Amino acid sequence: DAGVIQSPRHEVTEMGQEVTLRCKPISGHNSLFWYRQTMMRGLELLIYFNNNVPIDDSGMPEDRFSAKMPNASFSTLKIQPSEPRDSAVYFCASSLPGRADTQYFGPGTRLTVL
Amino acid sequence: GQQLNQSPQSMFIQEGEDVSMNCTSSSIFNTWLWYKQDPGEGPVLLIALYKAGELTSNGRLTAQFGITRKDSFLNISASIPSDVGIYFCAGRAGNKLVFGAGTILRVKS
């Protein structure tokens, strides 16, 4: 079975550009989580969805970040405009509803903003 | 907000040695989890603990849920080169996980 799929795996962009990260959760998983990982701050939850509805976006750093989940099999995390301090690895994870203890992580997108 | 203190930050051990790492929190968690992250990959769940005092094994890995529900430890016995990576503890708060900063494990063969 396919795990969580993220694209692109690597993204290099210039400051001010729009960046869109994509995630396909595991089929049948109704909860989806976006995380950011940096050396300084570790693994931080940005936002999570249940049944395509955003439940908690308190981790989203600022208005430049937005996330959508138009259907059960696709989610995006967008940064507009991007800044060098957004450079990090962004992970998407999914789980069965109510099973945050069993989250399956994707391979991550390494974002570099120059 | 809730924070987890994970120690040690890193370990460099000889192959065959046992490893111990732990995680403490100022808050109570009802679930403790341990993940491993290999380079270039996302974290993978190793062990989940659901009850205070619970001791659970997964092969050479053993983890315990502290009786105060504010701490957990992970032991790895007879380490091997493929054990290298970053180990994270996590506590479950509602439908969210709070992660520790990670323990970097290096193994000398």
pLDDT tens-digit map of A31-68 = 999 999 998 888 999 999 999 999 999 999 889 999 99
Q: Which residues make Cβ contacts (< 8 Å) with residue A58, sequence separation at least 6?
A: none
Among partner residues B45, B50, B102, which is closest to A42 by beta-carbon distance? B102
Confidence class for position B109, pLDDT limits 50, 70, 90: confident
Confidence class for position A97, pLDDT limits 50, 70, 90: confident
Q: Nearest 10 degrees: CA dihedral of B83, B3, A37, A58?
A: 150
Closest alpha carbon to B36 in B76, B77, B95, B92 = B76
Question: In this model, does residue B1 exceed pLDDT 60?
Answer: no
**Given an 8 Å threshold on Cβ–Cβ distance, is B92 in contact with A100?**
yes
User: A83 CA to chain B: closest CA distance, Å?
Assistant: 23
CA angle A77, A80, A81 (to 5 degrees): 145
Among partner residues B41, B48, B99, which is closest to A107 by beta-carbon distance? B41
Count Cβ atoms below 10 Å from residue A99 Cβ, excluding itself. Answer: 15
Distance, CA of B27 to CA of B97 (rounded, Å): 13
Specify the DSSP element, H or E, that contains B62. strand B61-65
Interface check A98 vs B, CB under 8 A:
yes
What residues of chain B lie within 8 A of the CB of A58, using their CB? none
Among partner residues A48, A101, A107, which is closest to B31 by beta-carbon distance? A101
Q: What is the pLDDT of residue B37?
A: 96
Q: Which residue has the tokens 């995006």?
A: A76
